[in-house]
A = this chain, B = another copy of it.
């Protein structure tokens, strides 16, 4: 029987193992995982910290027993420390320091990423947190329980910053968000970010943009966060959420080539430069379907896809990653922001000639109360009329997240603005209009070609 070893038991690793079992049930993959939390939904940590998830164990997609019942062997709390590429062996050390050597015929590296830790004074003070893995989340929860902080500063207004601002407000903290860019959630356009800021402000959050943090100091039990523009604030705790870096040192020392932001270079089969070694998930580069080039995009959805493909190929199948389109959605208090494909700026950078148009309409027939407004921005290429991207803002429970997915499907197929009206989308007055708002938004974009 083929020895198939996977390093990493989060999204990509588990996805790979499950796919191996489907493709070739004779293979029993071994997963080496550094912590005791295989297949946990780390995306759920903000909801654990908010108190909405009762226990951190609830975040498990599957329990260890369920994983093993699938025919997957788990080596928990074992840190892989080296890969012997010639002998085809992985060395892993357990919590007691005992080293095991695990032979592989095929190896999948899914070591994920870690939080970026900016090199500023005070970043290691107690009360300064990052959020990536389960222990990060339980540490924050424990701190709130025992130290009873009244205020928090969140550095970085990306997805985690957004979700954590809501979580900390729900725990009763006074929250300030400090963002380097000119608006929150920089993955959407500035004016959409500003609309999101209105929601944050309505919920009592202070938002400060265009500020770069320079130091964290300490005064008694208080942390003093300082930044550009004479920014200074005294707070009880700090969350630093400024992105992530791929965890690749193990693979690098085995000779695996890295590229963008230090992530493993892979081909569409998720093969690295070393024979029989695959990489997948947040430790690897990601092919972007619309930019038509590699990028670094550490997302759970991408990790699942890449893991599945690595698993399929490692088990003797044949599959290629068709590329990410950067589809993302996030719930922030009572609104949802979602995006897919490229916005105007990204389209320009990718060499397109973008045109964008905004459309605001009701999520369903206004006569059936209550209806809510959807804000939809669509970007297309001036020359080919191909839809390149979409951004939607709307109320929670107005199908924003699956509406962006209709765009994701269309963009996957390089659909043009005109063809988009061909989609036979569902309609019932409590949930849509005879033309779904996504179609009206695209039809509205047509005016661009009519007037020029």
Residue positions of A touching B, CB distance < 8 A: 11, 22, 41, 43-44, 47, 52-53, 58-59, 289, 299-305, 308, 319, 322-331, 336, 338, 340, 365-369, 396-397, 399, 401-406, 408-410, 412-413, 418-419, 421-432, 434-436, 446-447, 450
Contact across chains for B429 and A41 when beta carbons are under 8 A apart: yes
Contact across chains for B408 and A405 when beta carbons are under 8 A apart: no
Residue of A289, A326, A409 with most chain B CB atoms under a 10 A cut-off: A409
Q: What are 23 pairs between A and B in contact, CB < 8 Å?
A: A41-B434, A44-B368, A47-B368, A47-B430, A52-B369, A301-B424, A301-B425, A301-B426, A302-B424, A304-B435, A305-B421, A308-B421, A327-B425, A328-B428, A329-B428, A329-B432, A396-B430, A399-B399, A401-B432, A402-B405, A405-B423, A408-B424, A408-B426
With contacts A41-B365, A305-B421, A326-B424 known, what are 12 further pairs, Cβ within 8 A?
Answer: A41-B434, A44-B367, A58-B366, A304-B434, A327-B424, A327-B425, A328-B428, A396-B430, A399-B399, A401-B428, A402-B426, A404-B426
Contact across chains for A340 and B424 when beta carbons are under 8 A apart: yes
What are the residues of chain B within 8 A of A426 when measuring CB–CB? 301, 327-329, 338, 340, 401-402, 404-405, 408
Contact across chains for B427 and A301 when beta carbons are under 8 A apart: yes
Q: What is the chain B residue whose CB lies nearest that of A419?
A: B322
Contact across chains for A434 and B300 when beta carbons are under 8 A apart: yes
How far, in angstroms, from A447 to B409 measured CA to CA in the complex? 24
A450 to chain B, nearest CB (A): 7
A138 to chain B, nearest CB (A): 15
How far, in angstroms, from A399 to B403 measured CA to CA in the complex? 9
Residue of A331, A429, A432 with most chain B CB atoms under a 10 A cut-off: A429
A264 to chain B, nearest CB (A): 20
Contact across chains for B423 and A408 when beta carbons are under 8 A apart: yes
How far, in angstroms, from A434 to B282 measured CA to CA in the complex? 14
What are the residues of chain B within 8 A of A59 when measuring CB–CB? 367
What are the residues of chain B within 8 A of A367 when measuring CB–CB? 41, 44, 47, 53, 58-59
A54 to chain B, nearest CB (A): 8
A424 to chain B, nearest CB (A): 4
